[in-house]
Amino acid sequence: MNDQQQQQQQFQGGAAYSSSPPMQQQQPHPGSSDDMTGAAARLANLQLGSPSSSNHGTPVHVTAAPTRSYSGPPPAGGGANYAPGYGPPPPVVYGAGTMQQQQAPHRESFDSSGEQGRPMQAPLQNAPPAMGMPALPAMVGPMVQFVDVELERALWHGSVLILTNEAFLVHGRRAGPGPASVGPSSSSAFPATGAAMHAGPTPVASSVQQAPVVEVWDDAQHGPGAGKPKTFVTRAIYTEPTFQYTFWRADITLPLPQENEADVLYQVYWGADEAAIQSHSARTTFSFRIPAQASQWRMCVTSNAQFSRKVPESARAALRGSGPVFRDLMAKHRANPFHVWIGTGGQFTGDGVWDDCEPVLRPFLAADAARRPLVQWTADMAAAVERWYFLEYLRQWFGVGSSMPMEQEAQGLFAQAAAAMPYSFTPDAEIFPGYGSYTQALHFSPVFNGIRHVGAKYYALFQAHTTPTLAHNEHGFLGEGYHSVKKLGPYTALLTLDTRTERQPAGIIDRHAYDIVFAELEARVPMTATNLIVVASNPVIFPRTKNFESLLRSASSSGLTSIISYAVNAKQTRNDWVSKDKLGEPVAVTMLNDFWTSALHKSERSFVVRTLQGFAKRRSCRITFASGHVNCLSAAHFRTYTDSKYDPRKYPEQRGFVSDYRSMIQLTVSGLVQEPADSFTLRAYHFAGKSAPFDSMTEEKLYHTFNVDVNGLPPPNNNQKLLGRRS
């Protein structure tokens, strides 16, 4: 028996989401009613946080005051005064991917404009757009990201992203080369979709770019006009090739207050916009909350924050669109602001790339299965797909060009959330749903590879504020994808696994990336950490799909899908169990191949869990999985069999542990916006969700969490393990 098959600590409810020192508590017996009730509470707390009477959701306006530049990392409040777990020694070891803060020169002209309470979109120079092209704003953003906590100096690290395009300004463009106007005409337009996706003029970028500036007030006493701000000048990280938008990143470093959490107020100024109002008090002020050194971190966890293209308008109307769930999320944030917003994937969905770019991708789509891997990735394909991802991010996140009434409200709220809740997002549907779970021939085809590179690049830009090159050289991401290890204070760490970018039919994460990720996990997680949250888009503990995979493959090959279609019930809004996608592949087979519990990934899943068991044993660290993707709620656990001779409750003398290090909780959130799983799917999962051994010493089991539905009635089909509601 190796070290990865021994005992350690049992998960305890709220402590898994707390950065405060662990408290001695009586542990419930795993599987008991108290433990199951605790799982339901943990599932609710993970998503909703705790209520409070404070409200920080509205813009702040005060009178103007002079500004000053802010260079170098700020001193932690109180100099040598640190809360337990902070301060030197020892210094934090970042490993190979060390984050580097870069300071840029101070600029004197800070201009911006924006609508009250919403991320800014500066006015346009364009005439009214033609042929369906959305009017593009001169400025998009801001978006704020949580990067890490530096324990030895008690510093919060984050970044702010802004997009600008001087060609779309209304007034007063500064002198320099470039067009005075790029407004579309009847003979030249920028169609967003369809046959002319790759057509239209490309604006010429000015050789002189005005960098936006982020000014920050974090002392809890001053604000715009009432105190001197800290100034962070942005750095250009990428220029989008079609419309010449520049992506600007400002690295933000702030001291964590010792005792009381603080609101951070910030404004964005852009010197190129000479028509912008100059007074601080007349500009939009954004805010986010940072925790105190000694306080617990509040977080929300979401999944699938966009509707899939497959969801018809009637189903969206039945759900009242995406507005109600985003209103609820923002109301909870205003009542008691979240310190970090964790996205498990689906913040953006790329499922429309095949439909909208069909004309240019037709040589690939029209080819038969044998010829598709031979179709080459062309410059026209690259231009069309690049344009589509950029415009689709503007539509899904900021409502630019949106025409669907059931989405418009939520798109505005998503933009507000991205400016007010520091986020940490992992990809899932961001390339396109199912990427990496298709056949080997499709996966390694030039067209799949080309779309993967563009989709992953725009995930990096919008959701990680980086580029594929900078991500690994400067911004601390691990492997070939976007894995990361972050600290939520001295007692809680966050391991985010990118289960999409490196995915192949034979494996979810590249085997060499595992070596890097687990080495950095050991190096970056402080010895004080008692909780590790592992974020993976798919749940690690979920019903086994082996029998369904065999059934669906057999039905597809034998032409028996009509029987399954009858069982599914034609009244459902969509039928993923028997339908095929744009490539002619069975949707259900691709969907099930995505799961950690798929038969294809059995050995990889075992490796990940046993490696984490070893980490938990060495570090006396509780481990919790946070996932989404499956569009239903569930809670589950690993634990040592109670009748096992290895049960540490019977042998507490083993390294002094009195709890089970194999005990890990899985919390799975449903889609925030996406339509919940249908009743047939939930029944199928419930049927497959019987208690099963993970190995000879570890039990794997779903909790009976949902005794009642959200309406107070018994759950549908008396399914107490899985609930098909948005969350």
Q: Mind listing the pLDDT tens digit for each residue in 380-406?
A: 999 999 999 999 999 999 988 877 766
For residue 506, how many C-alpha atoms fall within 13 Å in the half-sphere facing its CB? 5
For residue 409, how many C-alpha atoms fall within 13 Å in the half-sphere facing its CB? 13
**Where does 594-671 have alpha helices with state H?**
602-619
Task: Tell me what the mean pLDDT of segment 423-441 comes to.
Answer: 91
Of the pLDDT bands very low, low, confident and very high (cuts 50, 70, 90), residue 254 is very high
- Write out the two tokens for 698: 């570890």
pLDDT at 721 over 50: yes
Angle, alpha carbons 304-390-316 (nearest 5°)? 35
Cα 134 to Cα 138, 188, 199, 674: the distances in Å are: 13, 14, 15, 24
Inter-residue contact 346 to 628 (CB < 8 Å): yes
Letter string b/e over residues 444-470, b meaning 16 or more CB atoms within 10 A of that residue's CB: ebbbbebbbbbbbbbbbbbbbbbbbeb
pLDDT of residue 581: 79
Number of other residues whose CB lies within 10 A of the CB of residue 675? 22
- Write out the two tokens for 296: 């617990």
Cα 216 to Cα 117, 288, 424: the distances in Å are: 17, 11, 21
pLDDT of residue 546: 65
CA gap 86, 295 in Å, rounded: 12
171 CB burial (10 A radius; 0-12, 13-18, 19+): exposed
pLDDT of residue 650: 56
pLDDT of residue 101: 37
CA gap 284, 266 in Å, rounded: 9
Residue 15 per-residue DSSP state: G
pLDDT of residue 607: 96
pLDDT of residue 99: 37
SS3 at position 89: coil
Inter-residue contact 491 to 531 (CB < 8 Å): yes
pLDDT of residue 36: 40
CA gap 666, 286 in Å, rounded: 34
Strand intervals (E) in 154-219? 155-164, 213-217
CA gap 312, 677 in Å, rounded: 14
CA gap 216, 231 in Å, rounded: 6
Task: Tell me what the mean pLDDT of segment 296-314 comes to.
Answer: 90
Among residues 343, 448, 322, 332, the alpha carbon closest in space to that of 395 is found at 322
pLDDT of residue 649: 54
Number of other residues whose CB lies within 10 A of the CB of residue 184? 19
Q: Are strands 262-269 and 246-255 parallel, antiparallel or unpaired?
A: unpaired
Residue type, 609: V
Distance from the Cα of residue 15 to its chain's centroid: 23
pLDDT at 718 over 50: yes
Average pLDDT of the chain, as a whole number: 76
CA gap 403, 395 in Å, rounded: 9
pLDDT in tens, 75-104: 444 445 787 878 775 444 433 333 333 333
Cα 603 to Cα 500, 597, 690, 695: the distances in Å are: 18, 10, 20, 11
